[in-house]
Each structure stands twice: as structure tokens, then as C-alpha cells.
């Protein structure tokens, strides 16, 4: 078994010599550094595009003109079931902390940076383990990189365009009594959108 692993190590790129423990750590550090740089770059990109990030993405699912809400309204008209039309949910989103909006901006920018950089992070992970694989294993692993990235992005989009709007409409409009009005904290709304999107994407 040890001999087989040694033979695989000899197939590494470069001079064919087996890497030492410290050389492995140095290679890992490079991959982690590039992954962090990718996250940082996308985080900064998201941070400077605040209006798009919040008005067009994060806060959009509660609006009547959101694609999912429009589609459900059309489906309700087609099936003569007006209950499917969610309409415009008047959520009273409030901020109750002095630094709440700034910290939310930072948090969402970082989350967006991770989501956008994930395909590259998966690629870096593959590049780290690639030298220890046989050629036929590398071929299948490369396909796994693309499939993993595609499935994650598909899961995020599926949850964002279907599960998130339905969750917001149900929880945001749910009342135990007509005399109890809903005031949604900004942090609570953000955590709902992000956690639901991430959960389905990772699953």
C-alpha cells in the first residue's frame, strides 16, 4: 500500500520527486492564500455595489415584481386560483442597532464573496490534491470540480427564486392576531434569506 502511494507521488508535476511534509504545507498555503484573495476580491466587488446587492438581490424577493411572484400570479390567473398570487408584501423592516446596517453590509458582502468565489475555491482544492492522483483519477476529478460548482450554484438559485420568496411571504405575513403588527428586524430578514439560500446550495 505504501509502495502504491509512493508510485502515485512520483507522478507529480515537476521533477518527479516526492514532496516533503513542509513542501506540502507550503503548497497548501499557496492554495489557501489564492482562495482568500478570490474571496476578498469578490467581497470588495459586492461591497462597492451596495444598491445592486441589497435593492436588486437581497430585498427583491419581498416585492410583487419579483420573477417568482409574477409567475405565481400568472399561474393563479391561469388556474383561476387567486390565492397563488402572493402580491406585494408590505414588510416593515427596521434597524434597531447603531452599527446594524454597516455590519449587515459587511456580512452580506462577505457572504456574496464566498458564493461567487466558491467555484474557484473548489478548483484550488482540486489543484492541491491533483498531483497525488493517477491520470484517470484526475480526469474524473476535473469533472467533479465542475459538477460540484454547478450543483452549488443551482441549489443557491433554486432556493433564492423559489424557497426564499415563499418563506418570506409566509413568515412575514403570518399573524397570530390582527392587532399584532409585524416589524421585521433587518438582521432577522437577512439571516433568513442567506441561511435558506446557503442551506439548499450546500445540500
Q: Is position 57 within any domain?
A: yes
Residue 185 β-bridge partners: 94
> Does residue 39 fall inside a structural domain?
yes
Lowest mean pLDDT among 83-87, 123-127, 181-185, 186-190: 83-87
Q: pLDDT tens digit string along 140-171?
A: 777 778 888 888 888 889 999 988 888 888 88
Q: Is the residue at 128 inside a domain?
A: yes
pLDDT tens digits for range 1-43: 444 444 444 444 444 557 777 877 888 888 899 999 999 999 9
For residue 59, which phi and psi values (nearest 5 degrees)? -90, -10
What's the domain count of the chain? 1
> Is residue 16 in a domain?
no
Contact (CB, 8 A) for 160 and 195:
no
pLDDT at position 202 over 70: no
Does residue 47 have a pLDDT over 90? yes
For residue 172, tell me if it sits in a domain: yes
Highest mean pLDDT among 57-61, 128-132, 175-179: 57-61
**Domain span holding position 166:** 23-202
Percent helix / strand / coil, the chain, rounded to 5: 75, 0, 25
**pTM here?**
0.77
DSSP 149-201: HHHHHHHHHHIIIIIHHHHHHHHHH--S-TTS---EEHHHHHHHHHHHHHHHH
Residue 168 domain flag: yes
pLDDT digits (tens, 9 = 90+) for 70-100: 888 888 788 777 767 766 667 788 888 888 8
Grid coordinates in use for 72? 405565481
Q: Residue 130 burial by CB count (10 A; 0-12/13-18/19+): exposed, middle or buried?
A: middle
Indicate whether 8 belongs to any domain. no
**Number of DSSP helices (H) and strands (E) in the chain, helices first:** 8, 2
- Residue 12: inside a domain: no
pLDDT value of residue 14: 43
pLDDT at 178: 79
More confident residue, 96 or 175: 96
Amino acid at each position: 500500500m505504501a509502495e502504491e502511494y509512493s508510485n502515485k507521488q512520483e507522478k507529480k508535476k515537476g521533477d518527479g520527486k516526492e514532496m516533503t511534509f513542509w513542501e506540502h504545507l507550503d503548497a497548501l498555503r499557496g492554495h489557501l492564500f489564492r482562495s482568500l484573495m478570490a474571496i476578498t476580491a469578490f467581497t470588495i466587488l459586492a461591497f462597492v455595489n451596495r444598491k445592486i446587492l441589497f435593492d436588486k438581490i437581497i430585498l427583491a424577493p419581498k416585492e410583487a415584481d419579483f420573477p417568482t411572484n409574477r409567475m405565481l400570479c400568472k399561474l393563479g390567473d391561469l388556474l383561476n386560483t387567486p390565492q397563488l398570487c402572493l402580491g406585494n408584501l408590505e414588510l416593515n423592516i427596521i434597524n434597531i442597532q447603531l452599527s446594524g446596517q454597516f455590519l449587515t453590509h459587511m456580512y452580506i458582502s462577505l457572504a456574496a464573496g464566498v458564493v461567487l468565489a466558491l467555484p474557484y475555491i473548489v478548483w484550488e482544492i482540486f489543484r492541491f490534491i491533483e498531483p497525488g492522483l493517477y491520470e484517470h483519477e484526475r480526469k474524473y476529478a476535473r469533472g467533479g470540480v465542475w459538477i460540484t460548482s454547478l450543483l452549488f450554484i443551482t441549489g443557491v438559485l433554486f432556493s433564492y427564486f423559489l424557497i426564499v420568496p415563499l418563506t418570506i411571504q409566509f413568515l412575514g405575513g403570518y399573524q397570530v392576531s390582527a392587532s399584532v403588527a409585524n416589524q421585521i428586524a433587518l438582521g432577522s430578514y437577512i439571516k433568513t434569506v442567506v441561511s435558506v439560500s446557503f442551506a439548499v446550495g450546500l445540500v
